[in-house]
């Protein structure tokens, strides 16, 4: 599979350069990302990976960390 | 237009629309908890459009619209008995083409752009608290001498609190979302909602900190006759900052970008602009 993790990091560097996505966890509950950030990220992911991110997967648990984000995107890509 | 019955219903509506139309443009930033809340309150409606659909949350004095559409050029919605608010949110240096096109469609459809707001976070609430404390102590002594009291908002005061909030000129009606009496009592118990009453027991100032995850958005209001008199707003701000510092909450705000005085005030507080912008579009009602 293409370099999903690298592309996710690139998206965050563009959208939220002040966030160290590789080291941060508890992104939403910890206030590092809010719902606007998530929707913008999902929109970029749609364009970059050519996927339609299911709305029911836009939940804080899937956006806990870079690992969980990578996992959910790969899952959606395989569907 | 019908009520959305459950979270599964909400997901199924969107899934069906996507299956029919492919990828959709949306301004829906609600997490599941927010959607569930509206559904439980029986305040989330769905309306089909020519180019997709819109969810309408009933905020009592207005609807807020969350669209899912395939062709932004075809967006159109009928006037309802209440005004409809649509918010489009974007980064200031990256306003996407579809949002620019949506601006044109919203205007054609009869919407008025009533606000462009900048998003801010207060990074060092402790610093601000330290600066405001000395003046607050003086204000508090004067206030108490006049028979005023800061307190929780009890259930029996809620109607007065809401009437007070609705009368605040600085906060347009479409920035005052609906809260049930139970929700307001809950917030009051947690120290998020506080008022100042005069010697007769009438509300003369109030504040409400509205939580969205770990972020908070709030308002502070003072009755016209007491503005700049006892420092009630500063006192409520100190009360709010103490809570924020104690609980480690992030204090955020949306500031109208043409309101120079407010922008300067926020900068003096040490606010950081996040680069996120929100356009507020209103379709006024039939009446």
Identify whether the C-beta of residue B195 lies closer than 8 Å to the C-beta of residue B150: yes
CATH of domain A4-78: 1.10.1200.10
Provide DSSP, B62-120: -EEEEEEES-GGG------SS-EEEEEEEETTB--HHHHHHHHHHHHTT-EEEEEEEEE
Task: State the pLDDT confidence band at A1, using cuts at 50, 70 and 90.
Answer: low
- Alpha-carbon distance of A48 to B65, in angstroms, equals 27
Task: State the pLDDT confidence band at B265, using cuts at 50, 70 and 90.
Answer: confident
Mean pLDDT of B120-137: 89
Would you list which residues of chain A are within 8 Å, Cβ to Cβ, of chain B? 15, 28-31, 34-36, 38-40, 43, 46, 52, 54-56, 58-60
The three-point CA angle B173-B178-B179 to 5° equals 135
**B209-249 tens-digit pLDDT:** 998 878 899 899 999 998 877 889 889 999 999 999 998 88
- Segments making up each domain of chain A, as ranges: 4-78
Q: Please give the span between the terminal C-alpha atoms of chain A, in angstroms, as a whole number.
A: 14
Its ipTM equals 0.83
The three-class DSSP label of residue B29 is: coil
Nearest CA of chain B to the CA of A56: how many Å?
A: 6
For chain A, give the percent of residues with pLDDT over 90.
52
Burial of A29 (0-12, 13-18, 19+ CB in 10 A): middle
């Amino acid at each position: 599979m293409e370099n999903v993790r690298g592309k996710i990091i690139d998206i965050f560097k563009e959208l939220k350069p002040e966030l160290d996505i590789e080291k941060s966890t508890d992104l939403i509950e910890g206030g590092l990302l809010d719902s606007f950030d998530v929707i913008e990220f999902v929109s970029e992911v749609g364009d970059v990976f050519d996927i339609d991110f299911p709305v029911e997967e836009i939940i804080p648990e899937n956006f806990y960390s870079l690992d969980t984000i990578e996992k959910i995107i790969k899952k959606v890509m395989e569907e | 237009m019908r009520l959305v019955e459950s979270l599964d219903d909400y997901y199924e509506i969107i899934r069906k629309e996507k299956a029919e139309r492919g990828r959709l443009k949306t301004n829906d930033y609600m997490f599941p908890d927010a959607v569930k809340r509206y559904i439980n309150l029986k305040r989330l409606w769905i309306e089909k459009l020519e180019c997709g659909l819109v969810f309408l949350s009933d905020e009592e004095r207005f609807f807020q619209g969350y669209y899912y559409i395939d062709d932004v050029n075809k967006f159109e919605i009928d006037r309802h008995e209440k005004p409809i608010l649509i918010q489009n949110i974007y980064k200031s240096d990256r306003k996407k083409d579809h949002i620019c096109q949506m601006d044109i469609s919203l205007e054609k459809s009869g919407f008025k752009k009533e606000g462009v707001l900048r998003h801010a976070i207060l990074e060092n609430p402790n610093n601000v608290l330290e600066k405001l404390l000395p003046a607050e102590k003086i204000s508090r002594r004067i206030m108490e001498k006049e028979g005023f009291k800061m307190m929780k908002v009890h259930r029996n005061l809620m109607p007065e609190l809401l009437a007070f909030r609705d009368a605040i000129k600085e906060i347009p009606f479409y920035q005052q979302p609906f809260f049930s009496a139970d929700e307001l009592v809950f917030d009051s118990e947690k120290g998020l909602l506080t008022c100042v009453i005069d010697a007769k027991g009438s509300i003369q100032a109030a504040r409400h900190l509205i939580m969205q995850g770990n972020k908070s958005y709030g308002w502070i209001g003072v009755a016209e006759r007491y503005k700049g008199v006892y420092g009630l707003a500063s006192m409520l701000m100190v009360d709010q900052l103490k809570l924020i510092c104690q609980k480690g909450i992030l204090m955020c705000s949306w500031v109208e970008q043409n309101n120079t005085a407010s922008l300067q005030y926020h900068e003096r507080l040490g606010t950081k602009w996040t680069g996120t912008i929100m356009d507020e579009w209103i379709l006024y009602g039939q009446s």
